[in-house]
Amino acid sequence: MAKAMATPKNSKAHIFAMTISFLLALPLAAILLVHPALMLDANGHYNHSLLMLVMIGISGGFIHGVGFIPKFWLWKWLFSPYVAWPLMILGYYIWVGN
């Protein structure tokens, strides 16, 4: 029987990227659910526009992390790691930087 060719979505690099996406999203989601006060700015307020971007990044991290591939081009782009990872890094900056 012929050996099946590995597609890019089944490669080790893709699985590693999915794992990174999931592991980046998990702590941020937990912090926002359990203790959202850790995301306050220096004045004790939430920056809602930045947190909205962070939540889009978390969503993208989970969507990419579990292997779901949206069909519509906008969702495919928005929830890709190219968009999600920088937004999650922004979330870590807000969390740890304050």
pTM for this model (two decimals): 0.86
Q: Which single residue is written with the structure tokens 């099946």? A: 4
How many angstroms separate the first and last alpha carbons of the chain? Answer: 58
54 neighbors 90 (Cβ within 8 angstroms): yes
Measured CA to CA, the distance from residue 27 to residue 35 in angstroms comes to: 11
Structural domain boundaries in the chain: 53-97
Question: Each residue's pLDDT tens digit in the chain (98 positions)?
Answer: 445 544 556 789 999 999 999 999 999 999 999 998 888 887 888 889 999 999 999 999 999 999 999 999 999 999 999 999 999 999 999 888 86
In this predicted model, what pLDDT tens digit does every residue of 29-42 receive, in sequence order?
999 999 988 888 87
- The one-letter code for the residue type at 11 is S
CA angle 47, 51, 55 (to 5 degrees): 170
The pLDDT assigned to 9 comes to: 64
